[in-house]
Structure 1
């Protein structure tokens, strides 16, 4: 990877690589971030998925989804399928942050061994984030698949699934193990690129704050960490949202392989474009972008607080 000197961020705060518990601490802090992400973001996510996966004309927008959900299914409908993501997203975010922190240490050591500053380049931050996203995809794909199946059940239609385990059982019976991992390709695309932008945005803002104000990472006020986390959330969705739409469409398609509307990621993208044009790749974008700031602000804030407490 080419090093571009003007893009080197000098003020990165490195963790003690000799700490035998470093990885476990990173994972534990990431899990705290994941729990915060689910609890804050689940209502937004349910609204987004309903918009993405419902037939055109079902809802006029995010507010219409909210109104109809409250009227027909009650406020708790926003938390349908929450148990799976609470456990699963906690695991996913712990993987994201654990791998990212590990890649930061790897690149720092590599830079030092090459006689350069230990600070990472922008490209290295992006690549570290991308690797964390790809690693997370293996967990995120089936977890999100299960959650989406539960989120899209409506009170007006016969209940197809009684819970997460029932989703797994019925999907596996109908389509085998590959069926559980349906939507993996767009998940890899979303996470690989999106997490690169996500972590690059956050780390750039944090390092600029440390350099500008001559402070350490632990001294950055919580409100500024929240702002940086919110900006990172905007970055990931502005750069990778169409992949998420394709993933949602594939994961809400029939569990019976012989009755599916979409045969592949490319087929789903082609049919979406034919049916709705470019705007079809941005259905549900408004609740997603509204969700981005509070959800990712809470994720990074919880992570940073946990890291400060753990040491």
Structure 2
């Protein structure tokens, strides 16, 4: 198994862990982001309404799409991130400033790797999140879509591939900026731990992986939350022919939301996101790191020469 394939498999494990832990919080976030101002008094009001009107399983509405899609997305993120890190590390070694574990990767190299990971991820995450948001925000009594595949077919029939990739420009902006910050924060924490304690990456405790992932998650959302809100608005705009289309572009969406709802609209739903973030992102990096160690052990035992 090549190192890239190992990274992709480990990333998938991280993505599945992220979805299972974070999905209930995510649906509350999306409902609050896309509902008209004043619909919910707080995240607890929103969550209580979902539980009362739709039942506990509603918190996992649309989970099939992210379980498959986010697994692929996180796989891509980590695959591209790790590949970029190795390229930069090799260059640093050739220049005499690197280290065997990439400890001396510069801030700009880490940020660039995160941008590459985010852009690659955005090609898949855009449509995946579009379909998930459609399912999460549709009426519980008169749903427009029977499931993710039904949503894909109907949206494609109405608007073609452009409909599937609705909101893609703002998605790419979010992914590039967010994952640059996300992976930079995690890697700096990991590198600091390795340098301070003189240990290898695989000697970092699982608890620290969770803690570093949680910290990176907060950095991620501090950078992207307003962008994410606009993305959600763009992707739910024109939900049905009766609703009409409110926004002609991303900038038009920003202007209209600002004028109609003020600055507060750009952080609406932040509460459940901040609660969700440490659990979901901690689980993501824990899943990735533990899968990496397991695969390394299996491959090492089966074929030491392959490593």
TM range (shorter): over 0.9
> Alignment partner for residue 54 of structure 1, among 35, 43, 46?
35
CA distance in 2, matches of 1:256, 1:62: 26
> Alignment partner for residue 100 of structure 1, among 71, 81, 96?
81
CA distance in 2, matches of 1:296, 1:230: 5
8 A contact 2:28–2:47 mirrored in 1: yes
CA distance in 2, matches of 1:184, 1:110: 33
Q: Unpaired runs of 5+ in structure 1?
A: 1-19
Residue of structure 2 in register with 1:71 after alignment: 52
Residues 109-141 of structure 1, C-alpha deviations (whole Å, 9 max, x = no match): 122233432421011101101110010000000
8 A contact 2:90–2:98 mirrored in 1: no
Q: CA RMSD in A?
A: 1.3
1:33 and 2:33 matched: no
CA distance in 1, matches of 2:47, 2:139: 13
TM-score between both structures, scaled by the size of structure 2: 0.92
Q: Give the drift of 1:57.
A: 1.3
> Alignment partner for residue 177 of structure 2, among 179, 190, 193?
193
1:217 and 2:198 matched: no
1:269 and 2:254 matched: yes
CA distance in 1, matches of 2:15, 2:177: 20
CA distance in 2, matches of 1:265, 1:145: 15
What SS does the corresponding residue of 2:58 show, helix, strand or coil? helix
> Alignment partner for residue 176 of structure 1, among 153, 160, 165?
160
What SS does the corresponding residue of 1:259 show, helix, strand or coil? coil
CA distance in 2, matches of 1:40, 1:276: 31
Aligned residues: 291
Moved more, 54-63 or 86-95: 54-63
Residue of structure 2 in register with 1:23 after alignment: 4
Residues 181-240 of structure 1, C-alpha deviations (whole Å, 9 max, x = no match): 011111111110100000000010011011111111111111111100000000000011
8 A contact 2:225–2:267 mirrored in 1: yes
CA distance in 1, matches of 2:8, 2:98: 27
1:167 and 2:148 matched: no
> Alignment partner for residue 213 of structure 2, among 209, 223, 229?
229
> Alignment partner for residue 118 of structure 2, among 98, 117, 133?
133
Q: Give the drift of 1:65.
A: 0.9
CA distance in 1, matches of 2:98, 2:3: 22
Residue of structure 2 in register with 1:7 after alignment: none
Q: Give the drift of 1:249.
A: 0.3
8 A contact 2:215–2:278 mirrored in 1: yes
